[in-house]
Amino acid sequence: MHTEIRKLLTVICEAQLEPRVIADLERLGAHGYTITDARGKGARGSRNAGWDRSANIRIEVVCEAATATAIAADLRKLYYENFAMILFMSDVEVLRAEKF
Amino acid sequence: MNTLDPVVLFFVLGVLAGLMRSDLRLPSAIYDFVTMLLLLAIGLKGGVELSRQPLVELAPQMLAVVAMGLLLPLLAYPVLHYLGRLQRADAASIAAHYGSVSVGTYAVVAAYLTSQSIPFEEYMPVFVVMLEVPAIVVGIVIARGWAAQHQWGHLAREIFLGKGVVLLTGGLLIGWIAGADGVLPIKALFFDLFKGILALFLLEMGLITVSQLGDLRRSGLFLVGFAVVFPMVAALIGGSLGWVLGLTEGGTVVLATLAASASYIAVPAAMRMAVPEANPSLSLAAALGVTFPFNILLGIPLYHAAVRLILPDGA
């Protein structure tokens, strides 16, 4: 089976940022994304999703390496200073490369 | 007279469960639902009352209440910034929280007065809506200035389309259009069950309050003191305004409590987006960790006693 390598970009951030980050992703050329509710603990305290203000989300994007780098740079510039956000990238194998 | 309402005991249960690290937790979807019901029920009640009297008569009162909403954050800011040595953004954000209102606190004072059979102006929810927004604008202007704020359009969306404002205003309009007879079919859900819903809401609020205690420990004594003293000063202003406006004893207590309360729904959401450098855990720790429990456990009976002193004949 033929597979190709793409980047999986995972962003974990405050749920309130969702509309903004989605707009950024689309502007920077992501073809799709998946969002799940998340909770956890980090530098900005426990984010236990007990109520609106403490909820996190996890956004996953599979895309080309250049797009992933562009998104990462943008998100870092826009949100790292003032918001709870982490992101990381990894290589994944995909079957239908044209989708991403 | 000063007996604890059972709904307040639910809050105490939430606090105790939180302190003892119980695994009790209201699923967040249920908490959202309960909040929605409260906001709609409060809006509907006010709207029904509005349908009984011309809006024009209320206009002067509404203007005075908005003026209070603008004044309170302007009073709070210098105290926080100069006395408390908080950074400009943090002080502005906390000031906005304290200038705005807490719908949960309103629900408790309404329940408190009802259970003591003290009548109050049923159109008070209109004031709740009117008090939500002005303080947010003042807070943003203090933190940012008029000129630097190029995204007012974006922010207006954030402020006016937040669920708190939408549901309260929506409830008001529905109640206003439908009138007292029109809302009869939905009365069972929104009015008859109100206290039970409020009890569930307060249970979760107790748990949330405890979750703020860690942040509170880091925020320092000044903020704790502010979160108790400023509401009392604000209640004095609100109570005096109620007296000047000729409200009933109950209405004056409600206005004092509204002035004393600090927002934790509309303002945190708006400030997070408009003034992101302000630390949200400071304002939430103060509003939820101190002021909310203070108001519902001690503040409301205290404001009521004070109003009784001013209006000995029960007006």
Which pLDDT score is estimated for A52? 63
ipTM > 0.85, yes or no = no
User: Is the Cα dihedral B13, B14, B20, B26 positive or negative?
Assistant: positive
Report the residue of chain B nearest A82, measured CA to CA. Answer: B277
Which pLDDT score is estimated for B141? 92
CB proximity B158 to A under 8 Å:
no
User: Residue B129: which residues within 8 A CB-CB, separation 6 or more?
Assistant: B43, B46, B165, B168, B169, B172
Q: Does B284 sit within 8 Å of A82, measured CB to CB?
A: no
Which pLDDT score is estimated for B315? 45
Interface of A with B (CB under 8 A): 14, 16, 44-46, 48-55, 81-83
CA dist., res. A4 & res. A100, Å (int): 11
Q: Which of chain A's residues have a Cβ under 8 Å away from the Cβ of B272?
A: 14, 16
Report the residue of chain A nearest B280, measured CA to CA. Answer: A53
CA dist., res. B92 & res. B69, Å (int): 14
CA dist., res. B306 & res. B169, Å (int): 31
Which pLDDT score is estimated for B253? 97
Query: Pick from B208, B214, B281: which is nearest to A51 by CB?
Result: B208
CA dist., res. B96 & res. B142, Å (int): 10
Q: pLDDT tens digits, residue range A33-50?
A: 999 999 888 777 666 655
Which pLDDT score is estimated for A26? 94
Which pLDDT score is estimated for B3? 61
What are the tokens at B59? 């206009």
User: Residue B128: which residues within 8 A CB-CB, separation 6 or more?
Assistant: B42, B46, B101, B103, B106, B168, B258
CB proximity B87 to A under 8 Å:
no
Q: Which of chain B's residues have a Cβ under 8 Å away from the Cβ of A82?
A: 276-277
Report the residue of chain B nearest A78, measured CA to CA. Answer: B276
pLDDT per residue of chain B (315 residues) written in tens, 0 to 9: 456 788 999 999 999 999 999 999 888 889 989 999 999 999 999 999 988 887 888 899 999 999 999 999 999 999 999 999 999 999 999 999 999 999 999 999 999 999 999 999 999 999 999 999 999 999 999 998 876 556 777 778 878 888 889 999 999 999 999 999 999 999 999 999 999 999 999 999 999 999 888 888 888 899 999 999 999 999 999 999 999 999 999 999 999 999 999 998 889 888 988 898 999 889 999 999 999 999 999 999 999 999 998 776 644
Which pLDDT score is estimated for B10? 96
Which pLDDT score is estimated for A53? 66
pTM: 0.89
Query: Pick from A16, A44, A50: which is nearest to B207 by CB?
Result: A50
Interface test with A, best of B211, B264, B282 (most A CBs within 10 A): B211
Which pLDDT score is estimated for B1? 45
Q: Which of chain A's residues have a Cβ under 8 Å away from the Cβ of B211?
A: 46, 48, 50, 54
